[in-house]
Amino acid sequence: MSGTKTYYHSIDVFRFICAIFVVTVHITSQISSHGIATWANYYSYRYLLDIGSPFFLMAAGFIIFRKSTEQGPSYLLTYGKKILSYFIVFSLFYMVARVAVEASSAYVLNESITEAIRTQLNQWSALNVLNGSIGSFQLYFLVLLLYSALFLYGLLRLRVHPLGIFAIAVGLYGLENIGYFESIQLFQYKSFAFGFLYVVLGYTLSYTKDKISYRAPWFYTLLFAGAYVANYYYQLGLAWILLPLFAFSLGTLCVQYPNIGKGTILTKLSSYSLAIYTLHVFVELLVLKGVALAGWTDYYMSPLYYMGTIILCIVLPIFLFRPIYHSALWIKEKCLFTFRRKTSENEPFQQKQIG
């Protein structure tokens, strides 16, 4: 076997596409929340976008297997500290930003700035910290990654085989979907079982990629994507099964065709996927405040609003990310740990991403 490691350009491409999917989900939610959603203007594409967060988690799991195999289980502690540094920095950024935006809005509207700030502060709690939503709801993704990494570390220390880890992840996910964990009120959006399943799907895919040749990945990706949408159209209640199958099929597609998008603008932009995922909600907040201050009450009826906001939520985070990212690096190196390891510039997955 050759010692050359495969660079999965396909994962880069789909991570960037999935970042756009996540943005689109959050922006177009206005269509649903205002009661104007139909299959023609919303549902026909909305469900396909659900692949966004699962694919991000799978991509992280894919990288975790390779790194933990090379460096041992202790890599997961290093990884966890990196994710924790991201969570701290982005949460603090959103907490300060939301207070500043609310106070500024109150000032412009000649309302009580103190009351605006107090209202924002009252929304924060220890539970918000634990479930990842204290700064902004989409940051739950980072907390799920952190919890998954720590749990996976424990399993590896116990020398659980990768297929055993897969069985545990599927078991937890199955128990959750039959209501076994209903009494646990920690998570506000996605649960630990959800996040751990997709991390382990990526982990398992990385483990099996040299052992199994997955056949017709394009066919199965399209099959399960179509079935996932049909599930909602016919109200079959099988989304919890079909979404993992859809995500895993897309992962096998990336493994079988690692050069998808190689040399294109998509692979170059993929390094900003994390920026778009984490910061687009801030841009949306500014847009919504601007719309409110401008008195545009029926903005949600205009296609131009959605197109313009989605573009802004993709472009602006690219410029906002760097100083915040370096703050995360500072926290990671100065406050959490200082271990550094030289890596080759050509080593796979060295772009700015979670992994």
pLDDT tens per residue, range 98-127: 999 999 999 999 999 999 999 999 999 999
pLDDT at 154 over 70: yes
Give every CB contact of residue 86 below 8 A, 6+ residues apart in sequence.
142, 278, 328, 354
3-state helix, strand, coil in the chain (%, to 5): 75, 0, 25
Give CA–CA dist 302/305, Å, rounded: 5
pLDDT band at 349, cuts 50/70/90?
very low
What are 6's two structure tokens?
Answer: 């495969």
pLDDT of residue 315: 96
Which two structure tokens, joined as six digits, stand for 276? 């778009």
The set of residues, in sequence order, having a beta carbon less than 8 Å from that of 153 and lying 6+ positions away, is 73, 76, 77, 80
Contact 254, 10 (CB under 8 A): yes
pLDDT in the model for residue 129: 95
CB atoms within 10 A of CB 205: 23
Q: 353 pLDDT band (50/70/90 cuts)?
A: low
Place of tokens 């982005």: 90
Of 142 and 351, more confident:
142
**For residue 347, pLDDT beyond 90:** no
Are 320 and 90 spatial neighbours (Cβ–Cβ below 8 Å)? no
User: Which is nearest to 58 in space by CA: 137, 141, 174?
Assistant: 141
| Residue (of 287, 258, 318) closest to 5 by Cα position | 258
